[in-house]
Structure 1
Amino acid sequence: MAGIANRFVSAMILLGLLMMVSLDSSVAQTGVCYGRLGNQLPSPSQVVSLYNRNNIRRMRIYDPHQPTLQALGGSNIELILGVPNTDLQRLASNQANANTWVQNNVRNYPNVRFRYIAVGNEVSPLRQDTSQYVNFVLPALRNIYNAISAAGLGNRIRVSTAVETGLLGTSYPPANGAFRSDVNGYLSPIIRFLASTGAPLLANIYPYFSYIGNPRDINLQYALFTSNGIVVPGGVTYQNLFYAILDAMYAAVERSGGQNVQIVVSESGWPSAGSSVATVENSRLYNTNLIRRARDGTPRRPGRAIETYIFAMFDENQKNPEIERNFGIFRASGQPKYPISFN
């Protein structure tokens, strides 16, 4: 009887592990970015309740906001925690600063399900507002990674950085994707570091901005996931622009030494006001189709669900330029702008 019981217990443990692996690898569950640059937004505890009521199981925040971290405790919502760009130099300067940051913002919250630490957001040598941080990203990455590892959390929390698709020099056809030559010196060491630590690259992907930058050559339906698709050189069919941009990023990452580096789409969305194609209906079409299409994988990564985070939970009326104030999918009241399901 004891042998049968032991085998039964072992079988149940194995089944539980398989279920956990299945749940974790099925990353089609789309998360939502929670920014706070707006007036009259709900409190962090109300925000966490709103996530739970709508079955949103993943969140991205952009700084270690203590009330938000407190509200997330015990919620089982998985979190991307951001290191603000303004903190990069201090964390890059010595290991002790990174250790303190991890202690204060990660280890002090044992009931929060940290998934990734995003060390910097959209730092680029091409942008005047972020170029001053370029030299600090990789050393800050290393120091935060070392601090996470020393805390015994290296198997649970991956350390990465978030980049924008403006770093691509070639994006069409997607198989020819490559980073600009003037950013390779910055990006390639970061990608090799991610490859060595088993972390994904976080990428902010916005077909909206690609479309408004080239409406003559990009079909709006292609950007909104509602077209029949196009055949690109090489004979590959792309149903939507999101897949094409993501695959161009994959090709560029592979060319930079990241053959096994996965990409997590850390932001994507469509504004509901601010331009002729920024409407509530187009925002609804984009985000509801994004949730559905993220389950399928791209032509370059077929059958592999895409871990994706919609930008954003709420409109943020303190952001600039004006178009960036209108990406919210919920109103401050907690009511959705339009029907959307995360089930």
Structure 2
Amino acid sequence: MNIGLFFVPFFEVMRMLFAYTTEKQLVNARNATTGTQYYCPDCGSLLIRKAGSLLIPHFAHSAKEICHGMSEGETIEHLNLKQMFYQWGQQTDQQWQLETPLNDLAQRPDLLNRKLAVEIQCSSLKSTRLAERIKGYSQNGYQDWWLLGVKLRPNKKFTSLQKQFCSFSKDKGVHVWGIKKDEISLFYHIYQQDQHYQYSKKIWPSYSVPITTILNTNLSELPPKIILSKQSVLAEKRRLAKRLSCSEPKVMKVQTYLYLQRRHLLYLSEWIYFPSRYSFFYQEDLLIFRLLFQQEAKNADTIFKKFLYYRETMQRKWIFHRIEEREILERLYLEAIFCQRKAKIL
């Protein structure tokens, strides 16, 4: 075995495109000169300049250095995507900056344009760290824009990590952004139905339009229509019965809660089983929300309080750092009113 080759991925995780000189000037690796010493903007450690036929010029920490400011690491994909995004943005707006440390916040976004901070995420990230960075941007008046690299982009399923990058708006619904070397993509009107995920997708080829035009795009496309019918109720009951027979943990927790109220998961009011546009957020816990809606005579604040208490006792946390839970609860409330009325005419 070639030991050197085996350790290359570990040695090269701490990469960056910019570094400081001794005089605190920020220099692009492309413009670095031989014999000059360069330092990490995050930890201040001495850096090594690297370049080759397969790598764009960049700075890197030595194998023994641990930089907490760069704890997620930077892959070659990450470096290339940042460079592509920067060049694309510079075509129409010279205000784009790469890896600029923020004076009012101990964070260094991948790209910055005035108060817009862009983060290109190509590798896994701890939930606590992500929440901290998103909160930091928000509290200091920055608009953050997260784009997921190839490995993190949605496919047929949404992982817990992918959900944490999602946003919500009236025109796009639940949405998340992706980026590749030749495009920026938007996955929007994301919803979960029958344990499957559905979404629409829009693509902008690289260098096709100004970057900020993409971010500020308003969509006129309506979300997919959800069918409320007796057939959909029967189908949902069959799925729940199957999950109960398999003693699926999440469903068993719901059944345990209902059992303490002398109820059964499969014998609730019919309308409670209607599909929801917001199951992406709560999955089977939606049944509890609708049951509380039915029990509490539509008292919204009481319903929200009891539902959040139930979620807390079940140790189910709100993981959507970029979405206000209150807004989704209010939409669930309005949806419950509609579903209950719809059931009366079926």
Same fold (TM over 0.5): no
Structure showing greater radius of gyration is 2
TM-score w.r.t. the length of structure 2 is 0.27
TM-score w.r.t. the length of structure 1 is 0.27
